[in-house]
Structure 1
Amino acid sequence: MAEKNVNDYLEEGIYGPKELKPDEKRRFLGTFRERVLLALTKKQVMKKGTFPEVEQMLHDHPDAVMVVNGKLGYKALSAYTKLASSYGVESQRITSLDKQSDIGLVLAKGEAVHKEEIFVEETETEQGREEEQKPWWKKLFGLG
């Protein structure tokens, strides 16, 4: 291991300690991508109810940690945090994100799992229900 010189100390003082993959950690709420079992976008977390895939992962991996995006409202996150506590899984709320993340919830382990598909895909029926909903003013006037 190379010894630090004066420039290294100055850079660390100005910019802070060096981090491994800082953009990846910001996106996945402070977790490395290789440790993620399952991830939901903000839009998916905001939907009513919970995804059954999350419950299955909580059941299969009780040693995992659920990390939720603290910038989302309590109402959206409470169902997932209650679900995690019912399976004895620790949940953390991360609010100190420097940049915006498109991720709303991450279920991760302490070590690398290298799972290829981590995002929950929505079925066509769920997407179709969103398209069927009419704006309130069309319902009011009976249009469309």
Structure 2
Amino acid sequence: MSDNVQDRLDQGFYGTPKLKPDEQNKYLGTYRERVYLGITFNDLQINEGACLKAIELALQENPSFILKFHGKLPTSIVKVGMKIAKNTGTHFEYLSNESFKNSTDSFAMIVCHPKQALNIPDISAQKLYPDLFITKESSNDNTKKSFWSRIFGSL
């Protein structure tokens, strides 16, 4: 009986215990196995257009999924994301929990299933939609040659 009372008191002081709280904080309040696509702040900084297009494609393929926004996202990106969610008929959540991390490798937006595990091995947009992202190798083909290599390079 005393264990039950102690559990009840602990719940009153600290709140209801969560299962895997660190994982839920990393993946914007959901579990890793439910995530289909994850966009980090760094991904958005590097190629915002491709990331938003990947979100749009993921939601068109899976309209029963949910789009989750990190509370620290710029409003311009949130507005575009909300428009994408509205056009695809998808629900979205804007989460401003202080326990969510805010670094370049933190997730800014997530497309996930609300109740079912998906177990996608790699949730990065670059792996799921590689044709949207231009790699550095393909963009380096048009590098500028120096003045001297242009003059003497043809010899």
TM-score by length of structure 2 reads: 0.72
- Name the counterpart of 1:118: 123
TM-aligned CA deviation for residue 76 of structure 1: 2.2
Paired-residue identity, %: 27
Q: Superposition pairs for residues 21-100 of structure 1, below 5 Å? A: 21-46=20-45, 47-51=47-51, 52-100=53-101
1:70-129, CA deviations, whole angstroms, 9 ceiling, x for partnerless residues?
A: 111101222222111111111110002324141100001121111111112254249x69
Q: Is there any run of 5+ residues in structure 2 with no aligned partner, and where?
A: 127-132, 144-155
User: Which structure carries more helix by proportion?
Assistant: 2
2:7 aligned with 1:8, yes or no? yes
Normalization by structure 1: what TM-score?
0.77
Q: Helix, strand or coil: the match of 2:125?
A: coil
**Letter of the structure 2 residue corresponding to residue 103 of structure 1:** F
- How far the C-alpha of 1:66 sits from its partner, in A, is 0.1
CA distance in 1, matches of 2:93, 2:30: 12
TM superposition shift of 1:25: 0.5
Look up the match of 2:112.
108
Q: Which amino acid aligns with 2:109?
A: L
The structural deviation recorded for 1:4 is 5.9
For structure 1, list consecutive stretches of 5 or more residues without a partner in the other structure: 133-144
Aligned length: 128
For 2:120 and 2:18, locate their aligned partners in 1 and report how far apart those are by CA, in whole Å: 23
SS at match of 1:44: helix
CA contact (8 A) 1:35 1:112 kept: yes
State the 4+ residue runs in structure 1 displaced beyond 6 angstroms.
Answer: none
Letter in 2 for 1:106: I
